[in-house]
Chain A
C-alpha cells in the first residue's frame, strides 16, 4: 500500500513537472509484444514501453483519464494500468478472451465482448464485479455505446449482426444483419447513427439508431488493390459528423469519408494491416495502428495527409489518447 502511494505521488510529481496545458499522450497496445507503448503527443517520441499481460488488444481510458483498461486476451482478464506510475494496479474480470470493450459515458460500467463465450459481459469498474452477461451471436467483437449510455451495440463476427442492447434491462432490442464479419461499431456523437464495419464483407453499414435499419452501405475501391484486401476494421467519426475515418486492414489504407454524403473522399496510405484509430486532442490529428509494420501513422485531419509514422512494439493493435 505504502509502495503504491509512493509510486502514485512520484508519478504525480513527474506529470506535473512535464505536462503542458495541451500535452497529450498516446497509448498503443502491442498484441505480440505484450506491452503498451507510451508516446508523447507533441514530440511523438516514445517515452516508455510498459510490459503488461498476454496479448493486449482493445484499450480504453477511464473516465478520469487516470487509468487505462487493457483487454489482455490470453490472460482472460482486463488489466488496469495506472497512467501516472505506469504500473498495472489491478485486474477486472472479463470472461475468457476479451478483445474489445466500451466504457459507459458515465465512466461505469465497462461492456466487454467475450469472443469465446458468445457473451457481452457487463463489468463494474469500481467493485470489479460482473453485473450481467448478455447472450449474443457467435464471436462478439465490436462494441459501441450511445452518447446517452442507454443503448449498447455489439457486433458478432460469425453471426454477422449488430445487436442493439438496452443497458438498463440488458435485453436485446433489435438485431440488424450486416455484411460478413462485423468488427467494429461506432455511434455518431449525436447518437443518431451507428456505423458498423464488416471485414470480410468489405463494407461499412450506416444504421439509423432509432429505426435500427441500414440507411446506407459504404463500399471501397482502390486502384491496384484487389477487392478482397479492402477489409474495414476501425472507425472514427468527428464530433461535428463531417468526416469519418475507416481503417482498411491489409489494404494498408485509411479511407476518409464525407460523413454526410457517405462519399469516400480519399484513401491515405499508412502502414501495413491497419487495425484501429483514435483522434488526438481537438480532433486535429488521428492515429492509426499498423499491425504488420509495427508502427502508428499520424494523420493530419484538416489536410487529410499522413504526416509521420512512429515505430512502436510488435503488432500494434489498439490506440487511446489522453488529452
Chain B
C-alpha cells in the first residue's frame, strides 16, 4: 500500500475502444495499431445518432476516498493480501456505468484519493467540493466519514459508506448526505441468527475479542439473540495480540490454547466468535474442546459478498471483477461497485446528474438496483441503509442467504435484518 498522497483521474474511455484494444491484443496487433483502432471506433461512435443529438456527454465525476493505513494481513496463509479493497470495486462500477453510458451519451470518471491522514483527507475533500465534485465513495471509518460529511459545502454532496459497519450510523448518527451501502453489524448478526434459529442451534457460546470493533459485533450478537430467541449459555473474553502469521510448528501451541479457551462450557450448539481484525478467530474451528461449529467473524460468516457466491448471475460479476482487478471480489469491493452503480442507475433513469435529483431517486419508490442478490436492492428511507440479502458463507462455499424463509415483515422480509424504522432515531426522508 502506497502512503503517498495522490489523486488520479481514471480513463474516461468508454467500452468500444476498450474492446477493440482487447481484440487487437488477442490477435497480436502491436499497441500503436490498437490505439489507431480505438481512435477509429471513437470516430465511428461520434457519428452515431445518439452522439449527433447531443455532442457533449453528460459527465458524472465520482470520487473514491480512503485514508492510507496498514491493515492487518489475514491470519490464514492461503488468503491473498489485498491492498485495493473497495477501490477495485469502484473502478469496475465506473467501467460498467460507461458501458451503459455510451448508449446514453453519459460518461463516468473516478478520482482516486488515498490521503495520508484524516487532516489531509478533509483538505482534499474541501478542494474536490470546490471543484464541483458531489459523489464520494467513502472507504472510511465512522468518525472519518462523519467528519467529511459534516464539512461546510458537503451538504448537497452524497457520501456512500462502503466500510463502516457501526450501528450508530444507522440509529443515531445519520446524515442526509450519507448512504449506507455496507450492511450494519446488526444486519449481519440478525442474518446469522435467523439461520442458526432455523437450524435450531439456539444455544450459543460467545468468544469475544477485545478490540472496540469486536465488542461492537458482540453487542449486535446479543441483540440478535434476544430478537430471535437464542440463549447465550456462556461468554468468554479473549485477548490476543497480533503475532506473526508464520511460525514453524506454531500449530502445536495454538491447538492447546484453543482447547483450553473452550473447555468446561455448559452444553451449547455453536461457538460465536467476534474477531473483526482476524487475529485469532481462524484458530478456533476444529480446536474447540467440544466438537461444535464456529460462526461469527470466522467460520460461517455473514457478509454482503463472498467469492463463493455465484447465484443470480453472480458468476458474471465475479469473472468480470477478477479480470479487471486481478484478485477475488471482497465485501468492500462489492460495496464500491454497488455505490458507483447506484449513482449510475439513478443518472440513467432520471437523465439528471445533479445530486438532488440522484438523491431523490435513490431513496424514492422507483429505485431498484440489480446487484446479484436475487431481488432489486433499495435504500431504507429513514436511515438510507441499503436493504439487501446477507450471504452466509464458509471459507469456500456459500451456505445460505438470509433473511430465512418464515421471517416476515409488513414491508419486506429484508427489513427483518438490522434496525427497523421504530428502533432507529433517524428520520431522514
Rounded to whole angstroms, the CA-CA distance of A201 and B365 in the bound complex is 12
B369 at the A/B interface (Cβ < 8 Å)? yes
A228 at the A/B interface (Cβ < 8 Å)? yes
CB–CB A137/B368 < 8 A:
no
CB–CB A201/B96 < 8 A:
no
Rounded to whole angstroms, the CA-CA distance of A137 and B102 in the bound complex is 9
CB–CB A119/B103 < 8 A:
no
CB–CB A135/B19 < 8 A:
yes
CB–CB B369/A119 < 8 A:
no
CB–CB A135/B15 < 8 A:
yes
| Those of A94-119 within 8 Å (CB) of chain B | 96-97, 115-119
Rounded to whole angstroms, the CA-CA distance of A118 and B368 in the bound complex is 22
CB–CB A139/B100 < 8 A:
no
Given that A135-B15, A228-B412 are known contacts, is A159 also in contact with B368, CB under 8 Å in the complex?
no
Q: Note all chain B residues with C-beta closer than 8 A to A186.
A: none
| Those of B160-191 within 8 Å (CB) of chain A | none
CB–CB B370/A158 < 8 A:
yes
Interface of A is mostly: loop
* CB-based nearest B residue for A198: B370
CB–CB A135/B16 < 8 A:
yes
We find that the number of chain A residues with CB closer than 8 angstroms to chain B is 34
* CB-based nearest A residue for B323: A116
Rounded to whole angstroms, the CA-CA distance of A96 and B319 in the bound complex is 10
Q: Note all chain B residues with C-beta closer than 8 A to A96.
A: 319
Rounded to whole angstroms, the CA-CA distance of A157 and B100 in the bound complex is 11
Rounded to whole angstroms, the CA-CA distance of A135 and B41 in the bound complex is 11
Q: Which of B319, B345, B375, B412 has the most CB of A within 10 A?
A: B375
Instruction: From the candidates B23, B376, B413, name the one contacting A180 in the complex (CB within 8 A).
Output: B376
CB–CB B99/A157 < 8 A:
no
Rounded to whole angstroms, the CA-CA distance of A221 and B313 in the bound complex is 24
Rounded to whole angstroms, the CA-CA distance of A47 and B261 in the bound complex is 59
B259 at the A/B interface (Cβ < 8 Å)? no
| Those of A128-185 within 8 Å (CB) of chain B | 133, 135, 137-139, 156-161, 163, 172, 175, 177, 179-181
CB–CB B103/A137 < 8 A:
yes
CB–CB A177/B370 < 8 A:
no
Q: Note all chain A residues with C-beta closer than 8 A to B23.
A: 133
Distance from A107 Cβ to chain B, minimum over Cβ atoms (Å):
28
Rounded to whole angstroms, the CA-CA distance of A138 and B313 in the bound complex is 12
B211 at the A/B interface (Cβ < 8 Å)? no
Distance from A136 Cβ to chain B, minimum over Cβ atoms (Å):
8
CB–CB A97/B315 < 8 A:
yes
Q: Note all chain B residues with C-beta closer than 8 A to A180.
A: 345, 368-370, 376
CB–CB A228/B99 < 8 A:
no
Q: Note all chain B residues with C-beta closer than 8 A to A139.
A: 313, 316
CB–CB A181/B370 < 8 A:
yes
B348 at the A/B interface (Cβ < 8 Å)? yes
Given that A137-B99, A228-B376 are known contacts, is A118 also in contact with B19, CB under 8 Å in the complex?
yes
Write 13 A-B pairs (CB below 8 A) sorted by A numbering.
A115-B313, A117-B19, A135-B15, A138-B100, A139-B316, A160-B370, A175-B50, A175-B103, A200-B375, A200-B376, A228-B375, A228-B376, A229-B375
Q: Which residues of B contact A (CB under 8 A)?
A: 15-16, 19, 23, 50, 96, 99-100, 103-104, 313, 315-316, 319-320, 323, 341, 345, 348-349, 368-370, 374-376, 412-413
Q: Which 7 A-B pairs have the closest CB atoms?
A: A181-B370, A159-B100, A228-B375, A200-B376, A200-B370, A180-B370, A175-B103
